[in-house]
Amino acid sequence: MAERRVNVGWAEGLHARPASIFVRAATASGVPVTIAKADGNPVNAASMLAVLGLGAQGGEEIVLASDAEGADAALDRLAKLVAEGLEELPETV
């Protein structure tokens, strides 16, 4: 299973707009991805309610994971999005 550990770059954490940006990127990746707090249970990264339910704060470590084909590239893109706290979806997502 491919995995990326990254700190949340959005100051407000994965709430509202940042969560929406992340969920759209996870969905657009085309591979099933899970997201979890470093000490928590993984949830579907393409589910807005699940991502909001994590309550991930700015600077907190999260774990992105997938065992699908193409997972490494998808996780790299998602990790960059989260770490940099991007306000728009990158064109490559």
Amino acid identity of 16? Answer: A
Q: What single string gives the DSSP state of each residue in 18-85? A: HHHHHHHHHHHT-S--EEEETTS--EETT-HHHHHHH-PPTT-EEEEEE-STTHHHHHHHHHHHHHHT
Find the catalytic residue in 3, 7, 9, 15. Answer: 15
Q: Is residue 1 annotated as part of the catalytic site, yes or no?
A: no
Residues annotated as catalytic (active site), given as ranges: 15
